[in-house]
Structures are given as C-alpha cells and as structure tokens.
C-alpha cells in the first residue's frame, strides 16, 4: 500500500487508448478511494511510451506523453483523438511556407506551446522526466506521468513504398502513409543505450497492481517493455499484472494496431495478443486478461494457456465506460 495508505497502481500506456483508460481509472479511483477533497488516496503512475518522440522544427515532440497529459488535463481534442481542443494552425502554416517540419504532421499553435516549453526545459538541462513533471504541474492530472526512459528511443519503420525499401520515423508511416504500406520491421533507434528511469523502476517495484493499458501492443506496450531491463523489472514485480485487450472481435480498437501486429507476425485477435504477452505462470507477463464480451469464447482457450480471462465491456466510448473498465481491471487483479 502507498505511503498515505493508498493503493499504488502502475500503468504501462501509450497514446490515445492509454489516455482514455487512465482517465477512466482516475474517475473510478476518486469514487472507490476518495480522499475527502475530490481526489483519491490511490497513487497512479503511468509509464509512458516515448518511441513516437522526435525532434521536429528544433523542438522535442512527445506524442504519447502529450496525448495523456492533454486528456487528463481536459485540454484534448476528443473527436480527433490527439492534440489540443480549440486549436489553430497559424504557426504551422508559416512553417510549411518555409519548408520546415513535416507538412503532413500538423503542430498546432497551442501544441507548439508544449513543445517549446519542453524543449526549453531540456535545453536548461532537465531530464525528460523532470520536463514532463514541469509541464504536468500546470494541470491537476491526479496521475504521475513518467517517460519510460530519459534516453531517446525512436521507433523507425522499415517500409516498402513504390518498390523501394525506406526506413522512416514511425510517425511518417503512421500519419503520412496511414500505416497503409507494409511494415517489414520496427527498429528502436537508441534502445541499446537506453535504460528505464529510476522512477520507472521504483514505480514497478512498489506497485500493488500493474496494468497494461489497451494501447498498441507492438509500438506502445512493446516499445516500453523493450527498454533494456524494463521487462525483467515487470516480471520480477510482486504486483499482479493485468492486461486490457486493445483488440475487440478481431479489430483494433484504435489506430492501426493490426498493421503493427501483422508486421511482427501476430494475428489481430485478442487471443493472439494475450499469448504474445504470455502467461506469467509460464514466463510471460499476464496474470489476468480482460477481453470484450464479443470475445467471451476466448476465455477457456486462454485459461488453458494459463491466462485467467474475463469478458467485460471494453469500448471506452465515454468516461463512465472507461471508469467501469478500470474497475473491472482492478477486480481482475484482486482475483489473483
Ligand atoms: N496524427 C495525425 O493523424 N495527423 C497529424 O497531423 C498529427 C500531428 C500530431 C502532432 C503532435 C502530436 O503529439 C501528435 C500528432 N498526431 C497526428 C497524432 C500521433 O500520430 C499519435 O498521437 C501517436 O503518435 C499515435 O499514438
């Protein structure tokens, strides 16, 4: 249990799916473990993927950290799924006119405020962890955001386009090509020199519960677990590990996770993803797995593979549903 007696929950999370799940978890915990002034006695730490990060127009852009910060801060564009609400693109038009940046990757005016502030903190010598904490201070997030590493790890994709092999930044494949050209493989540039931050290792070691958010299992959860030493720390943790399926009835809940799974030879089914994560009793990650009711038939199959599986509503179409899903994930952890 946490210092103030609260339960300590550590969540491995990527972008949009992770952000919605964390928003639901925060709402549920405020109801389940109220601290008397609108917050919760629970302590939640999100270990966030930084593989989508890049230097662009001289600024450090961290898409997944920003998705989660904006969503928990109530400043996100919920329809679009990324970026700020009430956004404008005046600076972006100027950058395009100068031929600077990626014309297909829009940095909105408000979003640029985040990248300028972050880059300024980094130039002052702060680590990404410290810069992230400084940015987050501005909103009452109620959840601590930790980049998975303070060293840069960039996901690049080996693609075949117009008959030519090219290696591009993940965001180019994801946004410019809409993951529509086959990815031959993913390359984590810088991963050898990277380590989980001490804060991340502590959050994993001290957790009462570890949750794998319904984020992209390859380029979000996979990238986090690929930081040297991080997977081992999770496997060694005393906490139960519960995963939430990012696949419902054979389709990715968000984004193009199917294109990523295909690239690593994993079928786009909840069963295949659960087996990809592996049963903790057999050296893998999962003590428990949540699938949508549409996939209830996978429950006995996964039980036979050593993964205790529960079918619950997985669609996070509003905060109440996300809160319910978070409650289901914590209940699955208690059934340990
Ligand atoms: N996604 C898009 O589909 N089009 C964009 O122009 C775009 C710009 C962008 C700028 C900053 C940022 O943090 C995210 C941005 N995204 C954009 C979303 C991004 O591709 C996703 O948030 C993640 O990388 C996938 O999880």
Q: Give 283-314 pLDDT, tens digit per residue.
A: 999 999 999 999 999 999 999 999 999 999 99
Q: Is the CB of 106 under 6 A from ligand 1?
A: yes
Instruction: Identify the DSSP state of 319.
Output: H
Q: What is the pLDDT of residues 199-218, one digit of tens each?
A: 999 999 999 999 999 999 99
Q: Are the folds of 1-51+195-336 and 70-147 the same?
A: no
Q: What is the pLDDT of residues 7-36, one digit of tens each?
A: 999 999 998 899 999 999 999 999 999 999
Residue 230, pLDDT score: 98
Q: Is the CB of 177 under 6 A from ligand 1?
A: no
The more confident residue out of 239 and 163 is: 239
Instruction: Inform me whether the pLDDT recorded for 262 exceeds 80.
Output: yes
The more confident residue out of 23 and 257 is: 23
Phi, psi of 72 (to 5 degrees): -70, -25
Q: How far is the CA of 106 from the centre of ligand 1 (A)?
A: 8
Alpha-carbon distances of 190 from 69, 89, 195, 200, 219, rounded to whole Å = 25, 32, 10, 18, 15
pTM recorded for the entire structure: 0.97
Mean pLDDT of 26-50: 96
Alpha-carbon distances of 80 from 85, 211, 221, rounded to whole Å = 9, 25, 22
Phi, psi of 113 (to 5 degrees): -60, -40
Instruction: Identify the DSSP state of 271.
Output: H
Query: Sign (positive/negative) of CA torsion 113, 79, 245, 45?
Result: positive
Burial class of residue 156 in the structure, from the number of CB atoms within 10 Å of its CB (0-12 exposed, 13-18 middle, 19+ buried): buried
Instruction: Identify the DSSP state of 172.
Output: I
Q: Is the CB of 246 under 6 A from ligand 1?
A: no
Q: How far is the CA of 87 from the centre of ligand 1 (A)?
A: 14
Segments making up each domain of the chain, as ranges? 1-51+195-336, 70-147, 154-189
Instruction: Identify the DSSP state of 174.
Output: I
Architecture of the domain defined by 70-147: Orthogonal Bundle (1.10)
Q: Tell me the C-alpha distance between 23 and 17, whole Å.
A: 10
Four-way CATH pick for 1-51+195-336: 3.30.1490.20, 2.40.240.10, 3.40.50.10680, 3.40.718.10 = 3.40.50.10680
Locus of tokens 């962890």: 129
Residue 3, pLDDT score: 52
- Token reading at 216: 């992209």
Residue 305, pLDDT score: 96
Instruction: Identify the DSSP state of 336.
Output: -
Q: What is the pLDDT of residues 101-124, one digit of tens each?
A: 999 999 999 999 999 999 999 999
């Amino acid at each position: 249990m946490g210092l103030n007696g609260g339960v300590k929950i550590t969540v491995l999370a990527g972008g949009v799916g992770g952000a919605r799940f964390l928003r639901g978890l925060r709402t549920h915990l405020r109801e389940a473990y109220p601290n008397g002034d609108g917050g919760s006695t629970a302590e939640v730490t999100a270990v966030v993927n930084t593989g989508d990060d890049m230097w662009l127009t001289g600024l450090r852009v961290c898409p997944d950290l920003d998705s989660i910060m904006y969503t928990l801060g109530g400043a996100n564009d919920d329809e679009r799924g990324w970026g700020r609400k009430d956004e404008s693109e005046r600076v972006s038009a100027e950058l395009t006119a100068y031929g600077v940046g990626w014309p297909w990757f829009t940095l909105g005016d408000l979003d640029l405020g985040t990248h300028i502030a972050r880059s300024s903190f980094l130039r002052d010598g702060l680590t990404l962890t410290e810069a992230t904490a400084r940015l987050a201070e501005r909103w009452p997030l109620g959840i601590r955001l930790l980049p998975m590493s303070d060293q840069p790890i960039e996901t690049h994709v080996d693609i075949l386009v117009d008959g030519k092999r090219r290696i591009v930044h993940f965001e180019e494949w994801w946004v410019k090509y809409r993951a529509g050209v086959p990815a031959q493989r993913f390359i984590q540039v810088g991963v050898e020199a990277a380590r989980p931050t001490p804060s991340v290792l502590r959050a994993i070691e001290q957790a009462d519960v570890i949750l794998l958010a319904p984020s992209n299992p390859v380029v979000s959860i996979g990238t986090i677990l690929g930081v040297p030493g991080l997977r081992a720390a999770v496997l060694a943790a005393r906490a139960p590990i519960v995963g939430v399926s990012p696949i419902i009835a054979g389709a990715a809940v968000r984004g193009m996770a199917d294109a990523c799974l295909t690239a690593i030879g994993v079928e786009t089914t909840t069963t295949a993803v659960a087996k990809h994560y592996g049963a903790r009793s057999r050296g893998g990650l999962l003590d428990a797995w949540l699938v949508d009711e549409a996939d209830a038939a996978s429950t006995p199959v996964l039980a036979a593979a050593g993964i205790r599986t529960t079918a619950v509503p997985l669609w996070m179409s509003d905060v109440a549903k996300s809160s319910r899903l978070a409650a289901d994930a914590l209940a699955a952890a208690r059934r340990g």
